[in-house]
Chain A
Amino acid sequence: MNDYKMQTETSPPWDGQAYSVKRHGVTLTNCDSEPVQTPGCVQAHGAILVLRQSDLTILQASENTAELLGHAPGDLASKPVGVAIGTVAQARLGEFLANEPTDRNPLYVVTLPARGDGPALDLTVHTIDGVVVIELEATGRTDASEPNYYTLVKKTVTRLQTAETLQHFCDVAAEEVRALTGLDRVMIYKFHADGHGEVFAESKRADLDPWLGLHYPAEDIPKPAREVFTKIWIRPTPDVDGGLAELVPLTNPDTGKPLTMTYCALRGASVMYTEYLKNMKVTAGLTMPIRQDGQLWGLIACHHYAGPKFVPYQVRAACEFLAQVVSLQYKAAEDREHYIYRLKLDGVHQQLVAQAAQEGGLSAMTDGKPCLLDGLAAGGAALYHRDRWWRVGNTPTEIELEALGEWLVERPEFVAATRPLYVTDSLSRDYPAAAAFADVASGILAFPLSRAGRNLLIWFRPETIQTVNWGGNPHEKPTILGPNGPRLTPRSSFELFAESVRGRSAPWTPIEVDEAAHLRMMIMELVVSRAERLADLNADLSRSNEELDAFAYVASHDLKEPLRGIHKYAHLLLGEAAVTDEEHRRKLEGLMRLTLRMDSLLDSLLHFSRVGRAALQFEQTDLNEVVAEALEMVDARREESRCDIVVPRPLPPALCDRVRVREVFVNLLSNSLKYTDKPRSRIEVGFINTDEIHSRPGIPDGVHGHTIYYVADNGIGIQAKHFGQVFKMFKRLHGRDEYGGGTGAGLTIVQKLVERHRGRVWVESTLGEGATFFFTLPCDDGGHHVVHH
């Protein structure tokens, strides 16, 4: 995150000598290496004494001891501590150090009585690295109104424990800290995974502008400052303008080392920090960490705007305790919140899968209610299913999705045996083309929906910069120069931050990744159960095919037998001498003709049912031979109608069932021969190559890429409104005995045969001028699409 700073860094100005924040300050480029734990200074409202632990002799004193204790540092050097704080306090201190756990743990010892015009001073002590550190600051106590901090804190803890959501929990924490301290604004500042912060909860003086929901770049709280907050529980800055008092001498005369002031409440603040506060018109501050397992989760940041605000030691102790309680309870509140989020995701995902199962398709996940966006927090989602994209919310365009989909299915994460998920909050790092749509899809969470093929599901998250409400106006011109040189202001830090999070989204949490994986499992189960259902349907289908077989027998035998009987009796009656009456004779002949017609209808039906079921034998076929055979078969009819049949150019070979395709040609040729009113008819058998298709209008969709065969005649033609009907079973457009009769099954059988080759058949015609029947045989593509039925 902070690498870019290191690149420009040169040796800091204090290199090789003792550091004092008062003397050396800090600049934008070195703030991440600022020795904030050894600033060499204290905040000038208090004083500090550093004692040798073995004999409580003064080693160092802050330069302002004359004002607070009546002795300049020079007078105190190498003197017993009693010289500075009096012998009573010294005795108390000695006893205290002997009995209390003071190592890196500042504790209140005693209040030094007021001296002359100076205030009474609270004395706190802690030990570190062999020295005793005494901090002295004006006591804020007014004996008259001593609040019972124990009762206050106890009430606060009870309220925190009953908070149901993390938000409510933080609201309570902010309110309680403000009530306890009387500061103008208390914020619960939450760090995101990328280090930037958000004002998550706020309690403030009514007249102040709300900062709730504002986000601040990570650089607003430099790394060393964060590190300090993993060690201490409270950081007071009671007077931003109060100035600094340097230690005299600057280093420990015994060791030559600077004092580690991590645990000092009076630790001199970085000039960076005080300027930052001043830029926000803050006059006093108080900060407490919210942390767990050494991880800094956030801060309780308090601002005061009406001049200095000294929060006395006792109140600070209560705040410190509160910060610890908040840290402990925070984990429980967060767990509760995660649990609720997990329940919600689980519920929505279950509903989505139930919906998909009910509607028989996954598209309900983007189009239904609820949809994918009601679960996982995302800006958009897309699903590739049934050869198309289904989108909801903000997603890349379909063209962009196409390319992304192709890239994703090749990812190693996608072919992983367990949990094939691809998760990123910075897609353009793996897939540079994503930079073009970073605004909607900087982060994606994607998984495949099938082992093979490219069905997949993707959630999209926009670039963080687009989604958050940045503190202040990011476009405002940053203040470049402060009184102490170039300074980081909230706005200039924004520029740096924007650069570092370009192309990044909010990260996907482990819960979200888990729930996505679970959704995938549920979808896969659904797909498997669908496959089982399909297998059942197939079994049903083969059963009904067998039933169709049985039906064919009914048609062929059980219906034909009585038919034969009827025909016979009519024939016999006709033969009897009694039937001399012409009228009776005509009726009996009609009866016989009808039985024969029914016989041929039954034959057609039977044939049609066989065409649909019989196995096709695909072979490389010379269609010219097939047409020649078909012509022979229609020869008788051809003689009758005096017809020229031409094949303008040899047909290309095709992979097809030779016998069935011959039947197609026979039926189309008979049809053309039948329906003519010209004395000399002409029929043309030909084909249209794939590269010639574009130049022809009226070609239906879905046949491009396949050779089109046709049989064209100059016969009576068909009205456009009947184009569909000609392919219907037993549908005739003319009287039964016109144009040579027939059952009306020929074109239906043609259609069935062509469909068995996965092709299409259609007709173009102008009434009175002729008709052209077209068909395709897609099974001829390259010869490797052999279909087994």
Chain B
Amino acid sequence: MSFITNPSPIVIVEDSDEDFDTVMEAVKKAGLAAEVHRATSGDAFLALLRGAAAIRPVMVLMDLNTPGTDGRDALITLKSDPAFRVVPVIVFSTSDNPKDLDFCYRAGANAYHVKPVRHPDHLQAVIEILGYWLGRVALPRNERSTL
């Protein structure tokens, strides 16, 4: 597929450096051709998408509890914006609270994964998520929607 030669832009919304490192470790370990952008808060994430150097990710891996505008608000904003509604958002959170799951799916999240505390499990989870969304799934074409 074309994105293997042309790395696909993905956005990781994550305020924890350790957890972000784990994502980078997973990208490296799985040999994924991904152009990884990081936002440490909901506001930074929205700025990344809407700013001058507007990035148009093929997918977003999003932590919920980020400083300032948190992942929930960012998710709602993104999914209610026709320009970005098609971009898959995969929630990756420590919380297994049914309320959070319910909230995220209602807001249009495409998947919800719970972060394990055990590092090997955590790493494996990221490899599988990214491998699936970047390798298995047929994604919408990376063009600005005219919706």
Contact = CB atoms under 8 A, between A and B. Distances in A.
**Secondary structure dominating the interface of A:** helix
Interface residues of A, number: 21
A568 B115 CA distance: 13
A564 B21 CA distance: 12
Contact of B119 (A553, A557, A560, A568): A568
Given A558-B65, A564-B18, A571 B95 contact: no
B94 interface: yes
A556 B22 CA distance: 19
A67 interface: no
Contacts of A592: 118
B117 A599 contact: yes
Interface in B39-65: 64-65
Chain B, interface residues (CB within 8 Å), range: 10 to 19
Contacts of B64: 557
B115 A564 contact: yes
A568 B21 CA distance: 10
A557 B65 contact: yes
A504 interface: no
Interface in A540-585: 552-553, 556-558, 560-561, 563-565, 567-569, 571-572
B128 to A, nearest CB: 17
Nearest to B114: A556
A567 to B, nearest CB: 5
Given A561-B19, A564-B18, A564-B19, A571 B96 contact: no
Given A556-B97, A557-B93, A596 B117 contact: yes
A57 interface: no
Interface in A461-478: none
Contact of B117 (A558, A564, A569): A564
B119 A561 contact: no
A595 interface: yes
A571 B19 contact: no
A79 B101 CA distance: 127
Contacts of A568: 18, 21-22, 119, 122
Contacts of B122: 564, 568
A599 to B, nearest CB: 4
Contacts of A553: 65, 95, 97
A607 to B, nearest CB: 10
B94 A565 contact: no
B32 to A, nearest CB: 20
A557 B18 contact: no
Nearest to A564: B117
Contacts of A599: 117-118
B18 A565 contact: yes
Interface in B1-41: 16, 18-19, 21-22
Nearest to A565: B18
Contacts of A567: 117-119
14 contacts: A552-B97, A556-B95, A557-B65, A557-B95, A560-B117, A564-B117, A564-B119, A564-B122, A567-B119, A568-B21, A571-B120, A572-B119, A599-B118, A606-B97
Interface of B: 16, 18-19, 21-22, 64-65, 93-97, 115-120, 122
Interface of A: 552-553, 556-558, 560-561, 563-565, 567-569, 571-572, 592, 595-596, 599, 606, 610
Given A556-B94, A556-B95, A557-B64, 14 more contacts: A553-B65, A564-B18, A564-B19, A564-B94, A564-B116, A564-B117, A565-B18, A567-B118, A569-B18, A572-B119, A595-B117, A599-B117, A599-B118, A606-B97
